[in-house]
A and B are shown apart, each in its own frame.
Chain A
Amino acid sequence: MVSKPIKVDIWSDVQCPWCYIGKRKFEAGAAAASIPIEVEYHSFELAPDTPVDYEGTPVQYLAERRGVPAEQAKAMIERVTGIANAVGLDYDYEHIHQTNTVISHELLHFAKSKGRQLEMKERLLKAYFLNGEHVGRIPDLVEIAVELGFDRDEVTEALESHRFLPDVKADMAQAREYGINGVPFFVFEGKYGVSGAQEAETFANVLAQVQSERDA
């Protein structure tokens, strides 16, 4: 008998380095566990007050927003880049465009309405961390969507009308209901919470435990 998939709801932001690393680790853990899963991503805006056209570098951003000295910020970025590299992700912080991600979350909900959210999630993370693409402006996001085969007029209308903004807000409200303060955050079967970019082995163990308890 084929087991019913484990539902995994993941709160994540597009410009969250641990979310991409955690995504890779989760995928590796799920593959190792060989347990059927159904994944749904949810919006979480880490810095909703960031201007869309923020001009500074990630180092300047950390310095301005958090008062982190430039040398320390560089060291932090070097460390997270090294950790990303260990899971096969070549972060390009030299060309990252720090921005406001709310419209990219709207695009994720648009893609979800077409049954293609997972594909869009991967593409947007790749756009931000690997390709140096802008993920805050409608024209740039439309180009990404068109590249994936979405209809240009339809996606433009969806983003310009902000008709998926209520879905973004609903995700944020749900995160507050769960008491989620940071991302990535994984909710299994609406009952178990796992915070952060865990090791792949941990995700595999969690999936096995959740399945075992659910099917007991």
Chain B
Amino acid sequence: MDAMTAPLPVIKLEALGDPGAAACEGDFCAIPDHHTQAVVNRRLDDDDV
């Protein structure tokens, strides 16, 4: 096992903010429900739907 493959210690970070905020993992970028609803609301406001 070399330096590139050796397991790295995880540095503990104190989490702040909304844990459900939108992010991309791997090759997939999920869209949280609240974003979907916000877009629907905006389209309703714009009379697009």
A in complex with B:
yes
Q: Point out residues on A near B: beta carbons under 8 Å.
A: 13, 16-19, 21-22, 46-47, 50, 61-62, 65-66, 76, 79-80, 82-83, 86, 169, 173, 176-179, 181-185, 187-188, 191-199, 202-203, 206, 209-210
**Cβ contacts A to B, 28 pairs, < 8 Å:** A18-B22, A46-B27, A50-B27, A65-B28, A66-B27, A76-B29, A76-B31, A80-B31, A83-B31, A86-B38, A176-B8, A177-B10, A178-B10, A182-B25, A183-B23, A187-B13, A191-B13, A191-B14, A193-B13, A195-B15, A196-B21, A198-B17, A198-B18, A198-B21, A199-B18, A199-B21, A202-B21, A206-B16
A-chain residues with CB within 8 Å of residue B43 when the two chains form the complex: 82
Q: What is the total of A-B residue contacts with beta carbons within 8 Å?
A: 109
Q: Point out residues on B near A: beta carbons under 8 Å.
A: 4, 8-11, 13-29, 31, 35-36, 38-39, 42-43
**Contact assessment for B23 and A192 in the assembled complex, using a CB-CB cutoff below 8 Å:** no
State whether A47 and B27 are in contact (beta carbons under 8 Å apart), knowing that A79-B35, A194-B16, A195-B15 are contacts in the complex. yes
**Contact assessment for B24 and A13 in the assembled complex, using a CB-CB cutoff below 8 Å:** yes
State whether A197 and B8 are in contact (beta carbons under 8 Å apart), knowing that A83-B39, A192-B13 are contacts in the complex. no
Find A202's partner among B4, B10, B13, B18 (CB 8 Å cutoff).
B18
A-chain residues with CB within 8 Å of residue B16 when the two chains form the complex: 188, 192-194, 206, 209-210
State whether A185 and B23 are in contact (beta carbons under 8 Å apart), knowing that A79-B36, A177-B9 are contacts in the complex. yes
**Contact assessment for A195 and B21 in the assembled complex, using a CB-CB cutoff below 8 Å:** yes
Find A182's partner among B24, B38, B39 (CB 8 Å cutoff).
B24
Q: How far is the CA of A86 from the CA of B24 in the complex (A)?
A: 19
Of chain B, the residue at the smallest CB distance from A81 is B39
B-chain residues with CB within 8 Å of residue A182 when the two chains form the complex: 23-25
B-chain residues with CB within 8 Å of residue A195 when the two chains form the complex: 15, 17, 19, 21, 23
B-chain residues with CB within 8 Å of residue A194 when the two chains form the complex: 15-17, 21
**Contact assessment for B23 and A46 in the assembled complex, using a CB-CB cutoff below 8 Å:** no
